Amino acid sequence: MEVPEAAATAEGQTDRDALLERLTAALRADERIRAAWLTGSLGRGAGDRYSDLDVLVAVADADRPGLLDDWSGLADSVASIVHTQRLGTAVVNHITDGWLRFDASFVDPGDLSERSADGLLPLFDRDDLATRLGGPASSAGPSAATVGRLTREFLRILGLLPVVLGRDEYVVGASGAGLARTLLIQLMVEEVAAPDPGGALHLRGLLPPDRLAQLAALPPIAATRESVLAVHLAVADLFLPLARTLADRSGTPWPAEMLAALREHLDRELGVALSA
């Protein structure tokens, strides 16, 4: 069989295209699966040669346990699988022996109205389920819960600086610096508030050029006292003003007492003043 032309992946008939064709055939052969769509960056038309395959599978909740029991056989019929990770009853991740990645997400047809039709390319649809999909996705702005969680976690990590530096645990401090950078990236993604931000490995085209430039200009991380301190403070200079802006936009309570206590803690233990 052939994958619908609209769902063909980028850069011609690659190994990934052949995998998608086999996967689509296997899904179609199982009557419990009523429809399937290509999603993710490829579904949005924003994929490249490095993008994995993300497939949304419509299966009734009553049929899902049986389908999941049979899923390993279905996946093995598509490719030689070297890694499978099942995330509850909603998602299964796979890696093939050629290191192609494909993920399957499962949804009950009755829940399709909660999903936008944006970014979905049909592979097949037995029951015209596409008519149940919701309208265009819209950005609701930054999530108050996410902004609050990221901010408090960032302040907690900064508060560990006197511990790791006092113990000369510079390898641990370098790991903390990397985590601080990750939280900053997550906050910048929240600033964009895209309906479907895509995966963690695809920031270009999502973050604006000025934000990417700020991230690129951060000091390099090394397992030294100077680097650990410099990276944390440079990240804080970007994180804290942005967090305050997003807190105001989303109505998130600002952790003023925690921040004040952190400032005193860092000044007392390290003689460091947060500039932000």
pLDDT in tens, 20-50: 999 999 999 999 999 999 998 888 787 788 8
pLDDT at 47: 79
The reply to whether 121 and 151 lie within a common domain is no
The reply to whether 124 and 177 lie within a common domain is no
**Distance between CA atoms of 167 and 161, rounded to whole angstroms?**
10
pLDDT at 162: 97
Q: What share of the chain is helix, strand, coil (3-state, %, to 5)?
A: 50, 15, 35
The reply to whether 128 and 163 lie within a common domain is no
**Distance between CA atoms of 100 and 16, rounded to whole angstroms?**
7
The reply to whether 77 and 151 lie within a common domain is no
**Distance between CA atoms of 23 and 103, rounded to whole angstroms?**
11
The count of domains in the chain is: 2
The reply to whether 81 and 156 lie within a common domain is no
**Distance between CA atoms of 228 and 232, rounded to whole angstroms?**
6
**Distance between CA atoms of 204 and 216, rounded to whole angstroms?**
12
Domain CATH number, residue 102 = 3.30.460.10
Query: Which of 112, 132, 152 delimits the end of a domain?
Result: 132
pLDDT at 12: 43
Residue range of the domain that includes 65: 5-132
Query: Which of 97, 112, 132 delimits the end of a domain?
Result: 132
Longest distance between any two alpha carbons in the chain, whole Å = 69
Residue 10 has pLDDT above 50, yes or no: no
The reply to whether 165 and 122 lie within a common domain is no
Residue 258 has pLDDT above 80, yes or no: yes
Question: Is 137 inside a domain boundary?
Answer: no
Q: What's the pTM? A: 0.76
The reply to whether 150 and 266 lie within a common domain is yes
The reply to whether 58 and 177 lie within a common domain is no
